[in-house]
Structure 1
Amino acid sequence: MFRLVIAAALGGLVGFEREYNKHPAGFRTHLLVCVGACLIMLLSMFGFQTYMEANPEFVNFDPSRLAAYVVSGIGFLGAGTILVQGYTVRGLTTAASIWVVAGIGLSVGAGMYIAGLFTTLIVILSLIFLNKVDESFFRVRKKSELESIVIHAEPKDTTLLSIIDIFEQHKVKVKKVMVERDNTSEKEELLRYQLKVLYPNEKVKLTSIDELYKLKQVHKVYSL
């Protein structure tokens, strides 16, 4: 019971940070994962002692087997927190935190309290402080390099593929794609594609825009 309570506390600490920042998996999810992993470890270490004592000649004891299944099986839960929106992937950090919390639960279940506590501190500090470093340095740098391009085109099945193909031919990195109906067009139904792209240089930018205009389904192209 003591180990389960410790696991709940450590998993809850990590989950609180995720919940506070409104991520897909929050306080309850991390707490439950940590407690569940701790319980599996306790079951693996102590759950079969009576049977093993009664049948010593038939049982080969390996307490790491159930723990190994936790490590591999937690990937399915982590995958559920990953969201793909266009070319943007979100939730990888939360998936990683769930995986680490499972490891913390296994450590506490095995009686490695110091390792579990130290790992929890590292995870919380990295989620809080490294996120601030990322926002203040890396994202500012990324925003300064990324450019927005808007394309008004006919809603055909090959339209987006043709646009992406042009950018790929010129080694333009597409970071995000947003699609919505073009309400400004009165003549015919069009879609408005807004892409966040990273051009290698100004020449490539002009060339790719010129080739976009050559697509029959494209009506208008401009940068924001």
Structure 2
Amino acid sequence: MIWITIEHILRVLIAGLAGAIIGYERSSRQKEAGIRTHFIVAVGSSLMMIISKYGFTDMGNWSNVSLDPSRVASQIVSGVGFLGAGTIFMNKQKVKGLTTAAGIWATAGVGMGIGAGMYTLGIGVTLLIVVVQFAMHRHRKPLVATRVPHRLTVRIVNHKQAIPSILDALDQHQIHVFSLHSEIEKSLPDAKESVPSYLLLQASIQLNTTIKPKDLVPLLQSLPDVQMVKIDE
């Protein structure tokens, strides 16, 4: 019995490793779902496949019970579809995230295969997915994970002048901006009286090796109309 349990745990671990490999490629391109997401999807799918296949063996001799070993496993395919749909979004009239969503769905299949004991098939499909995602990508880059992006928040006034100044400062220091978002903040949270409207500028940035977060904060705070600078990972 203990050896059977060890084998099941081994299947889950192998599935998680396969999912992490697929997620590594997505993470290296700064996609929405990375190593952790693909790892959990693969592990969960493998676990549910094992439960579906072996979890009800103690009821096999019950004369009034009819078992379908594929019933639990069949729900994984549709269930993971909802998870993948969360990575799809529209950006400038273009659909983004389809490949990542399909990768999550395929990762669930890999986890199911390994959970069922089909090691060669699951590992082979993992390598196939990674090779195709890398080889067919529009911008081919080395398969090396990039540094974790930082979240930059800046509170500014007179945004017509401040935003170009901030973007110029980032560009001069070769700091890549992945995304940019702004919203009006009518009053500061700790303000006792009415104050002018502020603009919260939020950006996802990639720092280079020559500048650190502690160096970027005073740099941006020295710009005109900048009231607050905060950097989080």
TM normalised by structure 2 equals 0.55
Deviations 1:27-66 (A, max 9, x none): 000000000000000000111111333x2x1222221111
Match of 1:8 in 2: 16
The equivalent residue for 2:130 is 124
Cα separation, 2, equivalents of 1:129 and 1:86:
26
1:158-177 to 2 correspondences below 5 Å: none
55, 66, 89: which one aligns with 1:83: 89
- Secondary structure of the residue that 2:49 maps to in structure 1? helix
Q: What are the superposed Cα offsets for residues 121-157 of structure 1, whole Å, 9 maximum, x if unpaired?
A: 10000111111xx347xxxxxxxxxxxxxxxxxxxxx
Partner of 2:46: 38
Unaligned runs of 5+ in 2: 1-8, 141-233
In structure 2, distance between residues paired with 1:58 and 1:40: 24
1:81 counterpart letter in structure 2: T
- Please state how far the C-alpha of 1:73 moved relative to its aligned partner: 1.1
The higher radius of gyration belongs to 1
Q: Provide, for residues 83-120 of structure 1, a one-character-per-residue CA deviation record: whole Å limited to 9, x for no partner.
A: 11231111000000000000000000100001101100
- The match for 2:78 among 65, 72, 76 is 72
Match of 1:105 in 2: 111
Structure 1: unaligned runs, 5 residues or longer: 137-224
Secondary structure of 1:106's counterpart equals helix
d(CA) in 1 for partners of 2:80 and 2:13? Answer: 21
Paired residues, number: 132
| Partner amino acid, structure 2, of 1:125 | V
Equivalent residue number for residue 174 of structure 1: none
Aligned CA RMSD, in angstroms, stands at 1.2
